[in-house]
Amino acid sequence: MTVHIGAKPGDIAETVLLPGDPYRARWAAQTFLENPVLVNEVRGMLGYTGTWKGQRVTIHGTGMGMPSMSIYANELIRDFGAKTLIRIGSAGALQHRVKVRDIVLAQATTTLGSPSRSIFKELNFAPVADFGLLAAAHAAATARAIPTHVGGIYSSDTFYDERQDLSDQLQRHNCLCVEMEAAELYTLAARHGARALAILTISDHILTQEALPAADRERSFGDMVQIALEAAFTTA
């Protein structure tokens, strides 16, 4: 048991899927896992452990933003022994070729800042995905014929960002989409010897203002969960 996770030792699997939304954690666990058991509900941040094809998996919410992700990723890795952490998130597209419902596999992340920023001083650390997970997720998405993009993303600290100049530069430098947690997850995984990947479903488009209709969300998010589960155990 930690400050933010009320699970008992052994309740958390070595493979953890991490949506921002705790209700997405509940939906994904109840939809994709066998015998999902609630292992955490401190502050309403739901976590479930069950099995997928006989393998233990935990699906746990992280909340929104890197400070919140940092709390859960630190405790999951350092106190509960999580070794493979896959974010299953939503994101806003920053390129016209990236469409609503497409999947983005975040190869590398750009940030303005993160909870880890201060330890690097003048360095610009480059948070990157685990290559084995990335390759396995790409193979799983390709096998399912799901439109998928691999590349750099932006992990923002600000959902309502008013800096058009920043958005323009990110587009110009081929950033695929914006979300709010992956950079800190990748940094903590690197620091503590875990594997991490962010798999993102495009829920809205920054350039066209198109958004995923509510009725389509579960099916689209379902593809992302399937890819995450297949990737986690392809390379384990």
Ligand X SMILES: O=P(O)(O)O[C@H]1O[C@H](CO)[C@@H](O)[C@H]1O
Ligand Y SMILES: O=c1cc[nH]c(=O)[nH]1
Active site residues: 204
Stretch of 8-16, 17-25, 26-34, 110-118 lying at the interface with ligand X (CB under 6 A): 17-25
Nearest approach, Cβ of residue 78 and ligand Y (Å) = 26
> Contact between 159 and ligand X (CB under 6 A)?
yes
Kindly state whether residue 178 participates in binding ligand Y, applying the rule CB under 6 A. Answer: yes
In angstroms, what is the minimal distance from the CB of 122 to ligand X?
27
* Chain centroid offset of residue 59 CA: 11
Shortest spacing between CB 14 and ligand X, in angstroms: 21
CB 218 within 8 A of CB 19: no
Q: Is 180 annotated as a binding residue?
A: yes
The answer to whether residue 104 forms part of the interface with ligand Y (CB under 6 A) is no
Among the listed ranges 24-32, 78-86, 88-96, 228-236, the one in contact with ligand Y (CB under 6 A) is: 88-96
Q: Which one of ligand Y, ligand X, none is in contact with 178 (Cβ closer than 5 to 8 A by kind)? A: ligand Y
Rounded distance between C-alpha atoms, residue 88 and residue 200, angstroms: 6
Instruction: Match 């297949």 to its residue by tokens.
Output: 230
Terminal-to-terminal C-alpha distance of the chain: 26
Least distance CB 54 / ligand X (angstroms) = 27
- Rounded CA gap, 64 and 67, in Å? 8
Q: What does the alpha-carbon distance between residue 162 and residue 40 come to, in Å, rounded to a whole number?
A: 36
Site string for ligand Y, 179-208 (x = CB under 6 A): xx----------------------xx-x--
Count of residues of this chain found to bind ligand Y when the rule CB under 6 A is applied = 10
What is the footprint of ligand Y within residues 140-159 (CB under 6 A)? 159
β-strands 15-18, 84-93: how paired?
parallel
Rounded distance, CA 28 to CA 88, Å? 10
Query: Of 36 and 89, which has the nearer Cβ to ligand Y?
Result: 89
DSSP character string of 12-41? S-SEEEE-SSHHHHHHHHHHHSEEEEEEE-
